[in-house]
Every structure is written in structure tokens, then in C-alpha cells.
Structure 1
Amino acid sequence: MSKLTLGAHPYLLGFEQLERLVERTAKSGNDGYPPYNIEQTSDHSYRITLAVAGFGEDELSITVEDSSLVIRGRQSEDDADRVYLHRGIARRQFQRSFVLADGVDVGEAFLQNGLLHVDLSRKVPESVVQTIQIRKGDKA
């Protein structure tokens, strides 16, 4: 018995990209750091919040790459003169990726109390009804 994939289903025309998107998301390699929340702030907007304690604004970057929101953090190594008796606060670089649906735009981002907030909004598509004319002929 052969496996029926999403892109090969006869009623789902043009969804091959969705299958590739699911595969890409599964391979994203996010390891759980830093922890984050995703909340719906209205019917058409969202907020992603990452716990980035210890990171400054200049040590964080937010980009949109190939329909993905990518948030990176890299702290400078200026601790050479410090002697830690215990080091429980992580100071490691990270990359966290979120796949964005078509029509989702990244708005503003702000850092507050060790939390990085990134606002997203989704454009509501207009409802379109298209009438297709049927013509006579034997074009195959």
C-alpha cells in the first residue's frame, strides 16, 4: 500500500508547498531555548514573547527570511575578568524560527523587563467570487 501525501490528495490542488512547509518546520531544530509564549491579541493579531533575560537590544536581531520569522540572540564575551562561583543564567546564543502564513506581517518589537515582544498581524483577505465563462470548442 502506498502512502498518500497531502500534496497528492486529488481534492487538494496546489498544496504541495504546505507539505514542504510542514517538513521544514519539523526540521527547524528549535531546542526549547529561549522559552516563549504565543498569544492571540485580537481576531487578526498575535504576539510572540521570548524570555531573553541578560540580552540587550544590540544583542538581538529579528529578520523575516523565506516566510519565517527568525529571532537571534548573541551576547558578547566580556566576562573574562569575572570569577563565577555559580553560573545559572544562560549566556548562550540562540536562534528561534517561526513559520509565517501568507498574509501575516511582522509589526513592531520591543524589549521590556527581560522579555522580547514581537507583534504580528494577519491581513483579512477579501472574499472574491469569480465566474468562469464556458466556451464551445474541443480544446483539450
Structure 2
Amino acid sequence: MLINFTDPMFSNRVLGFENLVDRLERISNESQTGYPPYNIYKDGLKFQIEVALAGIEKKDLDIELCDGALSIKHDGPNASSENSETLHKGIAKRAFKLKFTLAEDLEVLGASLKNGLLTIDMERVVPDHKKPRVIEVK
């Protein structure tokens, strides 16, 4: 069966599947609006998602892992907290929801927000039954 990854049914990002890593760039360009911008890095068995969140505080973020889907959500600015008139609005603080589908063996290690960049660290944990083992010849 051939799966078309541009189909809206498969619009969630796929992360952690070795044979699909080359499709990540294409999926990210086709499936969402591009806000907020993010990068995905891979180094061996370690993965990292980096999301640009200028002006957004950690208390205003919801990060959830449920059924293999990692969601990052921000409801947008609180209108009542803005007391001054904005003359130019160049920093987007609008609501968003990013969703990444993670491989079964990908473990989220933690998240941090520093200097406007949200960093989520993950690692592939290869189960013992999938690790290569040496068979002794008798």
C-alpha cells in the first residue's frame, strides 16, 4: 500500500522513523502554516526539536505526550494584559499547535525554554529484543 504523505490525514509530522527522516523536510513544508518556525536535529540516537518562540513564556505553553504524539500548544496572548497601544507589531505571538508523531521507541527526555527557543530533547531507546546479539556456535 502506498501512503501519500501530503494527504491531510497524514499531515502530522513523523519523527523517529529512520526510513522517513528524508521526508521530514517535505512534510514540514507542506502540512502547516510554518508558524512557529522550528528545526529538527538528529545525532546518532538523539533527536532534538527546537522551536522559535520569541516573547512567549513557559507558563503560557502546554507540552503533552499522548499516544505517541508530541503536542506543543500556545493559546495566544491575553488581550487584557496589553495596556498600551501597539504602533508596530512585528513579533507574532498568535495561538498555535504543533504536533509531531513519534516513533514507538523514541523517549522524550525533557524540554527547556531559553532566549526564546524551546528545546525538546529525545532519544531512541532500542529495546533489548531488537538489539543485535551474538549467537554462539556449539
Correspondence 1:32 to 2:16: no
The 1:85/1:21 distance shift into structure 2, 3 A limit, reads closer
Structure 1: state its 5+ residue gaps: 7-18, 130-140
Name the amino acid aligned to 1:58: K
When residues 87 and 22 of structure 1 are mapped into structure 2, their CA distance, relative to the original with a 3 A threshold, is closer
Look up the match of 1:86.
88
C-alpha spacing 1:100/1:21, structure 2 compared with 1 (3 Å): farther
Equivalent residue, structure 2, for 1:13: none
Q: Does 1:51 align with 2:36?
A: no
**Would you say 1:110 and 2:112 are equivalent positions?**
yes
What is residue 133 of structure 1 aligned with on the other side? none
Aligned to 1:123: 125
1:22 to 1:128, Cα distance in 2 relative to 1, 3 A: farther
RMSD over aligned Cα, in angstroms?
2.4
Give how far 1:92 is off.
0.6
**Deviation per CA, 1:97-118, whole angstroms, max 9, x where unpaired?**
1110110011110001100000
The whole-number CA distance in structure 2 between the counterparts of 1:124 and 1:26 is 27
* Shift of residue 22, structure 1, vs aligned partner: 8.2
Q: d(CA) in 2 for partners of 1:124 and 1:108?
A: 18
Q: Which has the higher helix share?
A: 2
**1:60-99 correspondence to structure 2 within 5 Å:** 60-74=61-75, 75-77=77-79, 78-79=81-82, 81-99=83-101
Give the aligned length.
111
Give the Cα separation in 1 of the matches to 2:123 and 2:101.
14
Larger radius of gyration, structure 1 or 2? 1
1:125 Cα deviation from its structure 2 partner: 3.3
Q: Which has the higher contact order (CA 8 A, sep 6+)?
A: 2
Identity of aligned residues (%): 34
Q: Quick one: structure 1 residues 88 and 119, their matched pair in 2 at CA, closer, same or farther if it must change by over 3 Å? A: same
